[in-house]
A and B are shown apart, each in its own frame.
Chain A
């Protein structure tokens, strides 16, 4: 019996690698292990839902411009929607982090899931801080003048100028959301690939067979 031919094209090799690393039957599972029936496992998807509201409300604010919410009640509503969805996103993400930390969720070859979650958390903090800077009010002025001293003392003030409104707006609505969104995508793919981490003392019979990891 001959082995299947390895594709010589980059598209063929990429396809084979994607199918090997991300098997389609694991990407959209219709069953989950029984231990997932716990409220603590809900906070990951709550974070994701809040993140989608953050993106949509932020998208509306981007369409109308950074001053809109000062002179329009609808703008004020969307600004508040953006603020409170961010508050919920950060709170749900921290509770998700607490839950996963006490489960030691990096077990079972899930280190990359843990690392991408941590990077997403740090990126979200950076995005939130640049959000403070583009409120275009006294609060953002105060925060930017405080932040510039810290960043200048760290030697990054010339590249990351918190007093430059345009630069901070671009970081907040383009660069950082792209990074956070991309890392969230990798994080979800890792969860699908490795399965949801089981509790410490799980009965192996409760595991879905394809999600048993060595």
Chain B
């Protein structure tokens, strides 16, 4: 089976289609886009992992 050029483009495109107006979360006076909320969540997860994951031991380290 061969893929047409536009099919290749579609396959290589971002796994999440961002070509539409953003989705927003409303919580009282707070309004934030889902994209920004996801980024903040990923940063908090990275921060927690950086605190708790052991750092690999290198050769010659004191």
How many residue pairs between the two chains, A and B, have CB atoms under 8 Å in the bound complex? 33
Residues in B lying within 8 Å of A, measured CB to CB: 39, 42-43, 46-47, 49-51, 53, 55, 57-58, 61-62
Q: Which residue in B43, B58, B61, B62 is a CB contact (below 8 Å) of A95?
A: B43
B57 and A95 form a contact (CB under 8 A): no
Q: Please give me the residue from chain A that is nearest to B58 by CB atom.
A: A37
Q: Is the interface of B mostly helix, strand, loop or mixed?
A: helix
Q: Which residue of A lies closest to B42 (CB)?
A: A91
B61 touches A38 (CB 8 A): no
B62 and A43 within 8 A (CB): no
CA of A31 to CA of B61, assembled, Å: 8
For A, the interface residue count at a CB cutoff of 8 angstroms equals 14
Contact B50 A31 (CB under 8 A): no
Can you give 12 A-B contacts (C-beta < 8 A)? A34-B62, A37-B57, A38-B55, A39-B49, A39-B55, A91-B39, A91-B42, A91-B43, A95-B43, A95-B46, A95-B47, A98-B47
